[in-house]
Structure 1
Amino acid sequence: MTDASNVCSNPDCRVAQLGTCHLDHDPVDSCPHYGSREAADLDPGEIEELSAPVERTMDGIELRSNKVIPESGITNFRNRVRAKTIVLAGEQKTGKTTLLAALYGMFCKGPVGEFEFVSSQTLYSFAERKHLALFDPERSVPVTPRTSRGDDVNFFHIKMKAGDNLSEIVISDRSGEAFEDARLDTALVAKLSELALADRVCFLLDAARLTKKETRPGYSRIFKQAIRSLLDNDAVPKSAVLEVLVTKFDRVSDGQDGLNPLQDLEQYEQELRDEFGASGYEFEIHRICVDFH
């Protein structure tokens, strides 16, 4: 017989003793009180929440979520792990998340330069972004979901080795809109908390936008302004290495109508060196493109 004490919220219920509902509900489970306590005790299932991943233990073994490290957990992580912090700074659609997915994809195939993959405490999130980049086989170019404006900064972790030397890095991932807002309102620069942790800051320059006749004038000015908003407000540590990563280099089209996109790109790279060099800043500049195949 059913134990009504576990399934009925009515304290006067005697279905466990009598086998019938004293309120004359037939069948028993048609009673509005019947089953309500059980339903309240049920596990509601997995609900995705915007909270820090919880580390659990099983049989004395610590289990990690392998998802991104949230802003609330990065200080504790850096206290436990000797890692260099790389900040990816760029406005929306410059390729920050795609770059992270591509880096993971390259390590899946083998060494990247002199570095071999050892481990990652954010492996799930790396694999998720790689999967989403490849999800639609009909796309002509890889596309990854944009980091939402509402999301806080998160961090990815990689442990590598070059020969016998081990090294670890954490890489920031923040919405491009946050950097755009900080460029327009420098009072928001202080909210980009990852910059204070940076050992290396990588400014992402969209080569496709820079070399198009329609977008070049505005974008070339905006990119410099974005860098100035961070440097002039002392958001970047003096010890940090500064880089410009020229993304979407594979989308730079051949020159037409007398235009030479590669020459324009080289000229702009030199402008960055000269203009910011006059203020005491030096940039390392690298051209990159993503290949998921």
Structure 2
Amino acid sequence: MAETELVCANRECRIAQGGRCVEGHDELAKCLYYGKEPEGGDQDEGDDDQEATDPFDGVLLPDALPLDSRRADRVLASLPSRMIGVIGVHDSGKTSVIAGLFDLFQLGSVAHAMFAGSSTLHGLEKICHDARVASERDEPHSERTKRGEVRFYHFDVLRDGLLQSVLIADRSGEEYEEVADLTANATAMFELRRADVITVLVDGRRLASSRDRADVMGAIPLIIQGMVENGAFARKPNLAIVLTKDDAVQASPRKDQVQRDFLAIIDGIRDAFASHFGEFGSFVTSASPKNANVVRGAGLAEMLEFWMKPGAEPQGTRLRHSSGRVFDGLMFEEAKRG
């Protein structure tokens, strides 16, 4: 007599191998699945293979991470735009300034500007996360900008009935520091040549430190000088000088000295480089205070107001070339056409 083949409609049952029902029935006749073939077994496997080879026919959305120079160019071409170059040494608070400004927009208008969208929304959310309660950190923190090619954070704003784009350059602070040692390092800094506003960050916490004070006061003028000597500021941008981490300054017994030092930095830059910039502005900020009693984002609205000010138009220079021929001396004369 031929042996009966053990089959079960439950794909997880291994009764054919071990003789035990996965449902726990001693009498196999009581099992609802025993003796039945699995439904559409071969067909399902074929469908799986077919699905695996089907081309994607959905909509691919952009990653919404910070932009490279090529994608930043497209934003600049699509709307009236403001390019902001932010210069600061390592850990001077650049990422906190960008994140703090984005967080302010989520509470409402900032400097009469309403948030109107962003192509780097995920990137902005990532840099804001560590300063929020949801991160479960003991105190606000900002991720360090990695060395490498410059990236841009973008948002659109509606201000006085005009829709504008704002692009904020994000480059490692160490790369800006290296300009002080070798001016040629500024050559490839696209964000500086195109900038409408240069924002120089002065680290308030380090300025309040007797150990770091001299380095802070000496490094910033050298960085700007290196960029000026290399012709980095082709558009004669406006210049914002920003004291960051004012919460640390206010908690320091040296806060009065810090204020004097900050004014000295402003005056020194203005005296040495006034001809290379348009309008000057100075601001004191607490973008991501570690002290809960200090208002988060203090001073950023005033800074944004300055960012949105129109700068001087780039001035072209008419060059005259002479080959020594008489024709080079001829002038065009307008005449009425009949």
TM-score w.r.t. length of structure 2: 0.63
Aligned residue type for 1:104: F
Aligned residue type for 1:235: A
Structure 1 residues 212 and 159: CA distance shift in structure 2, 3 A: same
Aligned residue type for 1:212: S
Distance 2:288 2:217 in 1: 26
Structure 1 residues 230 and 139: CA distance shift in structure 2, 3 A: farther
Quick check: which one's strand share is greater?
Answer: 1
Alignment RMSD, CA only? 2.9
Aligned residue type for 1:179: Y
**1:248 maps to 2:245:** yes
Distance 2:264 2:177 in 1: 24
- Does the residue aligned with 2:144 lie in a helix, a strand or coil? coil
- Count of aligned pairs: 238
- Does the residue aligned with 2:224 lie in a helix, a strand or coil? helix
Q: Is the 8 A contact 1:208 1:248 kept in 2?
A: yes
- Match for residue 87 of structure 1 among 69, 85, 88: 85
Distance 2:180 2:223 in 1: 5
Distance 1:104 1:179 in 2: 24
**1:180 maps to 2:168:** no
**1:104 maps to 2:94:** no
2:138 paired residue number: 139
1:208-241 per-residue CA deviation (whole Å, 9 max, x = no partner) reads 2223222112221111101111112110123311
2:328 paired residue number: none
Structure 1 residues 57 and 66: CA distance shift in structure 2, 3 A: farther
Q: Is the 8 A contact 2:208 2:254 kept in 1?
A: no
Q: Is the 8 A contact 1:254 1:261 kept in 2?
A: no
Structure 1 residues 124 and 234: CA distance shift in structure 2, 3 A: same
2:195 paired residue number: 198
Distance 2:180 2:257 in 1: 29
Structure 1 residues 110 and 57: CA distance shift in structure 2, 3 A: farther
- Does the residue aligned with 1:63 lie in a helix, a strand or coil? coil
**1:239 maps to 2:251:** no
Distance 1:154 1:119 in 2: 18
C-alpha displacement of 1:156:
1.1
Q: Is the 8 A contact 1:57 1:63 kept in 2?
A: no
Q: Is the 8 A contact 2:198 2:237 kept in 1?
A: yes
**1:226 maps to 2:237:** no
- Does the residue aligned with 2:215 lie in a helix, a strand or coil? helix
- Does the residue aligned with 1:129 lie in a helix, a strand or coil? helix
Q: Is the 8 A contact 2:196 2:235 kept in 1?
A: no
* Max Rg structure: 2
Which ranges in structure 2 are unaligned for 5 or more consecutive residues?
A: 1-47, 290-295, 297-338
Q: Is the 8 A contact 1:91 1:180 kept in 2?
A: yes
Distance 1:200 1:170 in 2: 11
Aligned residue type for 2:189: L
C-alpha displacement of 1:264:
3.0
Structure 1 residues 203 and 256: CA distance shift in structure 2, 3 A: closer
Aligned residue type for 1:110: G
Could you tell me the percent identity over the aligned residues? 25
- Does the residue aligned with 1:124 lie in a helix, a strand or coil? helix
Distance 2:245 2:57 in 1: 43
1:226-260 per-residue CA deviation (whole Å, 9 max, x = no partner) reads 11111121101233111112111221146648963
TM-score w.r.t. length of structure 1: 0.72
For residues 1-293 of structure 1, the aligned pairs below 5 Å read 58=58, 63-134=61-132, 136-140=135-139, 142-149=140-147, 151-253=148-250, 256=253, 260-277=257-274, 279=275, 281=277, 283-291=280-288
Q: Is the 8 A contact 1:255 1:261 kept in 2?
A: no
1:192-221 per-residue CA deviation (whole Å, 9 max, x = no partner) reads 122121111111111222232221122211
Distance 2:179 2:233 in 1: 14
Which ranges in structure 1 are unaligned for 5 or more consecutive residues?
A: 1-37, 44-55
Q: Is the 8 A contact 1:211 1:264 kept in 2?
A: no
